[in-house]
Structure formats: structure tokens, C-alpha cells
Structure 1
Amino acid sequence: MTETTENKPAAPAAGKPAPATLRALLGEKVGMTQLFTPEGELKGVSVVKAGPCSVVRVKKADGPDGYNAVLVAFKEVREKSLNKPGLGELKKAGLGALRHQREFRVKDTAGFEPGQTLTLDGRFAVGDYVDVQAKSKASGFQGAMKRHGFSGLPASHGASDKQRSPGSLASRRSLGKVLSGQRMAGRTGGETNTTTKLAVIKVDAVENLIYLHGPVPGPAGGIVTIIETAANLKKVKAIVKASGIKKDKMGNIIAPAADKKKVKK
């Protein structure tokens, strides 16, 4: 049985660009390379294919959701890869099968409609700073030394086959159990990490590529979230003008040399 798209509902804003007030995108990590800046500096950069993304749903504070947000989807897949509720919501917005979805809070939802497209063009520029969130590389089951950086036990002076042992986990009598949160061997990596304040070195709006200074969590091909940084870029420092008054260690005012009276002998 073949699928037909004749009765597929079309969103009123299908294909239209979304407002650039939402400075966030979903993307796919391509890898790392090096670029020369206009000043001649060689910098290691992470390449991310950001977008295009589609607006699936717009939530409003005065609606049933009770808050302002925009639901965004990314990366086309086969329809059989999605469940029916998720696929139905995408078709309601006039979109095809998209695997990854992410909700972004916004102050105002004016101008956003289901079916709009979010692209890199006009959303980020060279010199901007962004936060990138992604899942880190998974390393499988690892010991305490690799997972937590333990130093291990001595290899001599009576120690036997305990070089990579974590050591004592708990006392025997007073508690009689291992406390919750004890650092031990276990699954390493595969957790959601956020790298903050990455500078945008280059933007290729035609190929939807953004070049970020420094490493990005996760392997090549992993899904990343790029959003405008929440960190303080400039700390305001009060400029205090030094007065001409100087004091000695006892707190006495020292007059300038020009004001000292000449003493006649």
C-alpha cells in the first residue's frame, strides 16, 4: 500500500520564514576543523549543520498551555519511524516526518505560526556567543579511576592486585551500608552536557553551517541544540579615578612634592 499526500493538510504558514527573535536552532554535529581569522589567528572550530527547522506548535500564555513557547522539529525520517500521535501533530502543522523536537521558551509569540521554517540566515552572526547542548560520547562500563579520576592504591608495600581498586566504600559498624551517591565504577558518558559561551567564528547560510570556536559535546552526527548564550559577556567594572591624595602606613596625608615649603637653613 502506497502513501498518498493528496489529503495532507497544508499549514497557512508552510515554508514561510519564522521571526529571528527566536535565537535557537537544532542541528547535527559534522566534526572539527581549523580556520584562520581575519587577524591571522588559527583556531580550532566545531562545524554544526544548523537547521533548517520547522515550527510544529506555538504555545501561548493566555491559552491552555499557560506559557509562551515554540515547539521546533528537525531532521526528516521515514513515517514508519515515528509513532502515530507524533506524526499526526506534524501533519496537522503541514509538515512531514521529523524525528527530533525541542521546545524553546519565548517572551512573545507574535509572528510565530505552525509550519514556518527556521534557518541560520539572520539568526546568528560572526561575533555572537552561543550555548551548545548535546549528549556526550558514551564510553561504556568503566572503573573508578577512568570514570572519576581516582588515583588507585599502591602497587607495593603489601598491596596485592589492588592498583586500580576504588578502596573502601563505607564503614562496617556505624552505618553498615554504602551511602547513596558513592562514586564507584559504572556507565560512563552518554549524558546531556552543555558547553557555554562559544564564539561564532563563521556562518555559511547557504549550506546551513555554523563554525563555533572550541569543542562541542557528542560524536559526529549527534544532535545538538544551539541557543543564544545565557552567560554574562561583559562584566561592568566601576572605574575609580585615583585621587592625588596619598597616605602613609599610619594614615597620615602626604603632601605632593610641589606643595612642600622650602626650609631655609
Structure 2
Amino acid sequence: MSAVSRGLISRLRTLLTPHTSTTTIQFRAFSTEILTPDNEVIQPRIIEAKPGVMTKQSKRTGAIAIKCGMTALWDKWGKRVPISVLWFDENIVSQVKTVEKEGIFALQVGCSHKKAKHLTKPEVGHFRAQGVPLKRKLKEFPVTEDALLPVGTTINVRHFLPGQYVDVTGITKGKGFQGVMKRHNFAGGPASHGASKSHRSGGSTGQRDAPGKVFKNRKMPGRMGGGQQTVKNVWVYKIDPGRNLMWVRGQVPGATGNFVFVKDAFDEKPDITKLPFPTYFAPEDEDEESLEPMTVDLGEVDPFMAAD
């Protein structure tokens, strides 16, 4: 027979013991209303899905993409240019955060589908409370007040434009424990005379009695990769609205199949007069599957030629 806790026994005795006085049970009422310090009810914010006018202070939401791999293009000078392919898989707005309730303006975006049995109960409850499909990956993007979107709004690849610059954030490939030559690009020791099994060592790491220690931030062997990294000012070469694909120049962090977060570049800011704000709203009669890929306008001569 399993042991019963003392707390459970004391609770049972309390319930079974008759009381002479009437006990009043009070229930706390839970409400979703937002109250001010003076207990005044704040009406919920009404957010409409309609195009707006972007200003220099406006900040749009980002999107979640899946790294599909890499390809290559050759320019007119015969130089190989690496190209990364990103897939925007069913991005929707799964939650809206406002100053009145959460203290910030932000949009939570969900990407890709996932079954309920592969999610935790709190995650399933979150999606059902918001009334959106179950998503595999979530990411919160801070935005300005004029860039808010209602829950359920679709964000596709046409949220970005060919020719603009974006910042891509992802988790780099894990390399495990590596030495200083691979991790920090050290030159290594001499490969001939005087080197006895120390060709790839880091050399001296400190002094003698003064100061008698190794300074902080000394480059030494250790864990390499597996951390978050942002590649800034990635140039968008082409987008395919029919398949929600984007071609960007250069490498993006992460292995093939990993999630990456794409947003407007902070340094190389795009032209606000051309960007769809707060996002691209497709017309009702538009057939996405019949849309042709959109390539950046580079003039009469395209410096890139597709590789065979």
C-alpha cells in the first residue's frame, strides 16, 4: 500500500469534520478586460487589414523561412556567386501584442504546420485561443503601431521586394569542440624544425609571474557554432510568388532545413515608397500559382547567368 501524504489526510479530516458555522466560499472572477490603474475599462484595439502609408519611423514585421539549400550563378565576368534559396511556408500572424495589454507593439508570426500530438498542451491551447492553425515555429517581431496586422493575416514572399536588403538570423551549424586554427583562423606553428607535435597548437596563452594568469577573452579551443547569428545586408535577387521562394546572394546561417528569420535590413534601409505596407495584400482574383518569378531590375544586361 502506497504511503499517503500528511497534507492529503489533513484535507480529508477538514472536509469530514462537521462545522457549526456557515462557511462562505468566494470565487475569483477572471476577465479578459484591460483595466487602467483607476479601474477604468480600456476598449480593445480594432486592427484592420488594409494598406497604409509607410514613414521613415515605421517598422514592418518580419517572416520565418526555411533554408532549402544553396545554388550558384555566374556573372558576366565568369565569377561564381553563391545563392541561398529560402522557402516561406504558410506564414500567418498568430498573436498581436499592444501597449495596452503587453506593453509593446509586436506581432507573433507562425510558420509551417504541425500536428497536435507533436505539440505540448500549452502550445495547443495558445493556438486555439487565438483561433489560428497549429504552427511548427513561432517568432515575435517588434513593430510600430501603424504596422500592426490582425490575427490570421497571411505573410508571403511578396512581403519583400527583389533588389532590397534584408537581415537574416538563424542558428549556425554546430562544429563541436574545435582547435584554434579552425575556430579562430590561427596560422599554426612551424611545420618543420623545432615543432614537436605542436603544429596546430595555440602557442603561449599568458606570461610568467606577472600577471600570472590568462586574460579574459583569450582565443582558445572550445565549442564552435550552434549559436544565433545574424547576417546583415543580404541582397534579394529573385522571388517566386507561386512557390513562396526567395533567392538571396551569399550565405545565410544554418543547415539545410533550418528555420531562419528574415526582416528588412537595419543598415541598408529599403525604399519605403516601394515596399508593401504593412504587408502585401493579394487581390481576390489573383491566382498565386500562375504568377511568374520576379527578378531584380539590373538594366539591359543581366550580370547573372543561370548555371546548368
**Could you say whether these structures have the same fold, taking a TM-score greater than 0.5 normalized by the shorter chain as the test?**
yes
**Is 1:64 the counterpart of 2:101 in the alignment?**
yes
Change (3 A) 1:65 1:218: same
Given candidates 64, 68, 86, the residue that maps to 2:123 is 86
Amino acid at match of 1:226: V
Amino acid at match of 2:163: G
Aligned length: 216
Q: CA deviation at 1:17?
A: 7.2
**Once structures 1 and 2 are overlaid, which stretch shifts more, 130-139 or 167-176?**
167-176
Q: CA deviation at 1:28?
A: 0.2
Q: CA deviation at 1:181?
A: 2.0
**Is 1:29 the counterpart of 2:63 in the alignment?**
no
Change (3 A) 1:108 1:201: same
Superposition pairs for residues 101-112 of structure 1, below 5 Å? 101-108=138-145, 112=149
Change (3 A) 1:18 1:117: farther
Change (3 A) 1:18 1:167: farther
Superposition pairs for residues 195-214 of structure 1, below 5 Å? 195-214=231-250
Q: CA deviation at 1:225?
A: 0.8
Correspondence for 2:87:
49
Q: Percent identity?
A: 36
Q: CA deviation at 1:180?
A: 2.7
Superposition pairs for residues 178-257 of structure 1, below 5 Å? 178-232=214-268
Q: CA deviation at 1:53?
A: 1.0
Amino acid at match of 1:203: I
Amino acid at match of 1:103: E
TM-score normalized with structure 2 length: 0.62
Query: Secondary structure of 1:202's partner?
Result: strand
RMSD between superposed Cα atoms in Å: 2.9
CA distance in structure 1 between the partners assigned to 2:49 and 2:244 by the alignment: 14
> Contact conserved, 1:17 with 1:117, CA < 8 A, in 2?
no
CA distance in structure 1 between the partners assigned to 2:112 and 2:49 by the alignment: 17
CA distance in structure 2 between the partners assigned to 1:32 and 1:84 by the alignment: 37
Q: Deviations over 1:53-82 (max 9, x none)?
A: 121211112x13111100111122222332
Pick the structure with more helix per residue: 2
> Contact conserved, 1:17 with 1:119, CA < 8 A, in 2?
no
Change (3 A) 1:18 1:93: farther
Change (3 A) 1:155 1:33: closer
Correspondence for 2:178:
142
> Contact conserved, 2:61 with 2:147, CA < 8 A, in 1?
no
> Any unmatched runs of 5+ in structure 2?
1-47, 55-59, 271-308
Amino acid at match of 2:243: E
Q: CA deviation at 1:45?
A: 1.8
Change (3 A) 1:210 1:158: closer
Change (3 A) 1:111 1:172: closer
